[in-house]
Structure 1
Amino acid sequence: MTILVTGAAGFIGSNFVLDWFSQSKEDVVSLDLLTYAGNLENLSSLNGSPHHHFVQGDIGDRNLVSSLLKKYQVRAIVNFAAESHVDRSIHESKDFIETNIVGTYNLLESARSYWNDLDKNLKQDFRFLHISSDEVYGSRDLTDPPSNESDPYKPNSPYSASKAASDHLVRAWFQTYKLPVLTVNSANNYGPYQFPEKLIPLCILNALKGKPLPIYGNGQQVRDWLYVKDHSAAISEILKQGHIGETYNVGGRNEKTNLEVVETLCAILDELKPKSNGKSYRDQITFVKDRPGHDRRYTIDASKLERDLGWRPQETFETGLRKTVLWYLENAAWMGHVVTGEYQDWIQKQYP
């Protein structure tokens, strides 16, 4: 048997695939369209493995997905495929509607058709695991408790609205068709292989190049930060033990303001890669105009996952961030390969 991982060449998807092979011999079919944030180099350590099968393609291509499900006798789909950057969703919302909503719909229909034709035992074991975001719950006040799985959805950006819509589709396919689904809403991920449009890798890249470290508004927006390897472990556990139809929040118990994140990152860089002039990277911090509809705080309650399935994050923010900075320092060639002309155009557009 095999699992199908969509969006497998992206940040979280590639980390999950690599972590999967560190603990399992079960085959993986990696499906990715290889848009700007998909990078085959993330999976290069699996080149030549008879247990890994990469396919370039779209989750919306039902003929392709159906053929892969049948050919490899897939027993689970883990769906990471998504447009995921809020800033891009503000400028280019159509791509988010097409991928996150229409793409998820087509993937669900491919899965449902395949699942319906399975024999009884295989049908019982099949799972469709959908990866979503804490942003679907909307912004929380500083005194509000963390978002839990029963909280109403209040998305505020085109990105979070598209993810909320995809979550509703997944739920509906369970309620209406009994497709055995699981949904994961995770906190802000960080770690190796993250495309440098997101805060942490962007600031690492800019710090090393002596460029400004851009922080929106006053930098007091709060996020819960989850090391990507902890997220991978949670997904594996949910796939193994999760109750069909349930949603599980995955959080790191690491609420930090954006300014705290960048200041901590600078302190680690000061230690690991000190400037020749003796100055701190903190001197490069620059406050820029806030983005439209910027949510003040995301915070997530992962107690259900911890209580029911026994998962706990292994990294604190400080230990996870140190590992992340070390990875980027040791993989400058990877960073150089992903920072293309298209990326430079985006940075100039976003941070003029």
Structure 2
Amino acid sequence: MPESRSMEWNGSYSSVTMFVLLGLTDKKELQFMLFPVFLGTYLVTLIWNLGLILLIRMDSHLKTPMYFFLSFLSFIDICFSSSISPRMLSDFLKEEKTISLFSCVTQYFFVTWMGLTECCLLAAMAYDRYVAIGRPLQYTTIMAPGLCGKMVAGAYVSGFFSSLSQALSCLHLSFCGPNVIQHFFCDLPQIVSLSCSKPFISQIALILVAVIIGFGSLFIILLSYGFIVASVLKIASGKGSVKAFNTCASHLAAVTLYYGTVLSVYLCPKSSQSMKQDKVVSVFYVIIIPMINPLIYSLRNKEIKAALKRLSKRTAD
């Protein structure tokens, strides 16, 4: 197993200043095969999400709270993928996949910031769907632009400070070897496992953020959908019920995919075999989901399709 040579002697032990990212695989041939696959995935993620943001900004028919939140979700997905993919792609072509402690913590900060912000934004979108179905007559009054802006700002600020608290806790840890991170990006559980000091503060920060932001957002989503189901059951016509559920289908799919993969990574017991599986699942939630989110919200969305037709018509004219 590789070890970095960058160590500083401090008393009776050496202080690790560089880490080695093991990556998805240590097989060189497979790394060269994976490079074009993940490069294509990253480029598609950028194009689809940027395209959706521009479409929402350009089309006046999409100036509604749902698409306002969706444009910020696309922006988060771009940042989420960009905090990991460029580094992972460069590592495919390197012999030594070393990263400094500061760079590692910085990457973790941005990955976690975007991940936690997405949790909060998905909760805000769930509340928006409840208001649209449960209180349609008051929808425009309740979901006013001012409230939507505050909800988005709250999501970013909550994610920022939650992530910052975890990142700062990592800088107080001591590392004296080994220095190999069993992942393709820097994640707190892997960083903490390499520490030779007591990681109590880091573990407490991780638990508090997981409970308050992670499970708090999930609770709001489940509560919103509970009220949505109650509202739909009151609708007399079957056609109205189907229409109500269709407005939630894309968001529900995005929530299921995101929370399903994240919870399977961070709640399952760890073993050498499960760590390999975690890498595969992590690829899904940090790389694949940001790419497919625009498709989830666009494929069955008549308003998005209509907006694309209007844009193509204007371009043709």
Sort the TM-score into its range (normalised by shorter chain): under 0.3
- Higher relative strand content: 1
Higher relative CO (CA 8 A, sep ≥ 6), structure 1 or 2? 2
Q: Which has the larger radius of gyration?
A: 2
- Higher relative helix content: 2
Alignment TM-score, normalising by the size of structure 2: 0.27
